[in-house]
Structure 1
Amino acid sequence: MPETPPRRRAPAMDPDRRRAMIVAAALPLVVEYGSAVTTAKIARAAGIGEGTIFRVFPDKEALLAACLAEALNPDDTVAHLASIPLDQPLAARLTEAAELLRGRMERMGAVIVALAGPGGPAGRPPRPTPPAGTPPPDREAAMAESVTALAALFEPDAARLRLPPERLAATFHLLLMTAGRTGATTTLTTDQIVDLFLHGALA
């Protein structure tokens, strides 16, 4: 009977990729369970042993802080904004951008609310803090990156704009944030927001 060749182990994943994979698996669980989520649940979702989490994160608080940092990280959104074709009409560019930004704000808000809420029977847990030596997420810098990427979408029409692209981008971003704020009395569709921004309130 021929011998069965030994199974080859999958190549080890470097720590940065392992951290990113664990955070990606953890994020939807954080939204569902908040700070009460267990590392056992996260490990099952990631398809790894629970001990593997603690090879790249010193404790659960560090993992939750990484989830919060990832929710606030604008890199993926900025890359998608940069990929929007500039040969489309301005309204189409802004509609696509608004869908991206509103989606990011919803995901970011869901994580922030989940981590700020009750963590189980023991009551409200402390907000997760990054490990010593790790700077906290910079929300202002993240917003500035999104606004800069948004301004590039106004540039092809700069000659017919009433204000510089940077100011319009900042105002449009603020409008999106206000329209998507939890508890807003009126919910506008993305098309309505873009139309209102470009053409004003008068019919």
Structure 2
Amino acid sequence: MAPDDRRRMIVRAVLPLVVEHGRGVTTAQIARAAGIGEGTIFRVFQDKDELFDACVEAALDPGEALEMIGEIPAELPLEKRLLEAVEALTAHLQRMGAVMAATLKGRLRAEEARNRKAPSGDSRRESFDAMQRAIRELFVPDADRLRLPVDKAASLFLTMLFAQSRAMPGSPEPAEMIDVFLHGAVRR
């Protein structure tokens, strides 16, 4: 297996362990989950910190969610397309939050945390732009029905979704959020 493929395979196998055990996951657990020997871990990663950084990078990557959104049939009603997109992006945001919380918990010193490689503003912007383009495509079949340009509708929808990801108790369910987004909060 090519080193990059092995690296991705290990990270994919380790992500659930990182969420469950945080930085306390052992190399034996990592090796078992990935179906490899412990020594193989360190032929691919310099140390566990580099592996954790790769896990964070993988969790931040919206590729899987974007792929799911890209597979949503355009023939579905807009409400259903948006609900499927919310489910895909919510799962991505939850995984991202769980991995970030698990890897940041247990850092020994604040200066170590500051010195670790953090995702750049550019990569976050690229990730958001990719999400915005994917959501935009869901609105295109109904562009003539929208009061806003497709780009603005997609950006506003994502803003609401991201706010929903930090929901307060009693916040609306995704279907309710979509209904209010599409039809407003005021009765006609």
Give the alignment's TM-score, normalised by structure 1: 0.83
1:82 is matched with: 70
Q: Give the Å deviation of 1:186.
A: 2.9
1:159 & 1:93 partners in 2: Cα distance? Answer: 16
1:29-44 matches, within 5 Å, as 29-44=17-32
Q: Give the Å deviation of 1:188.
A: 2.4
2:141 is matched with: 156
1:192 is matched with: 176
2:22 & 2:91 partners in 1: Cα distance? Answer: 20
Give the alignment's TM-score, normalised by structure 2: 0.90
Q: Give the Å deviation of 1:36.
A: 2.1
1:186 & 1:124 partners in 2: Cα distance? Answer: 35
2:125 is matched with: 140
Instruction: Count matched residues.
Output: 184
Identity of aligned residues (%): 45
Q: 2:105 aligns with which of 100, 114, 117?
A: 117
Report the structure number with the largest CA radius of gyration. 1
Q: Give the Å deviation of 1:23.
A: 0.2
Structure 1 stretches of at least 4 aligned residues deviating more than 6 Å after TM superposition:
none
Question: Any conservation in 2 of the 1:78–1:149 contact (CA below 8 Å)?
Answer: yes
CA distance 1:112–1:125, shift in 2 (3 Å): farther
More helix by share: 2
Q: Give the Å deviation of 1:124.
A: 7.3
Cα RMSD for the two superposed structures: 2.0
1:71 is matched with: 59
1:184 & 1:126 partners in 2: Cα distance? Answer: 32
CA distance 1:50–1:125, shift in 2 (3 Å): farther
1:117 & 1:124 partners in 2: Cα distance? Answer: 11
Secondary structure at the aligned position of 2:106 is classed as coil
Unaligned ranges ≥5, structure 1: 1-12
Which amino acid in 2 is paired with 1:196? V
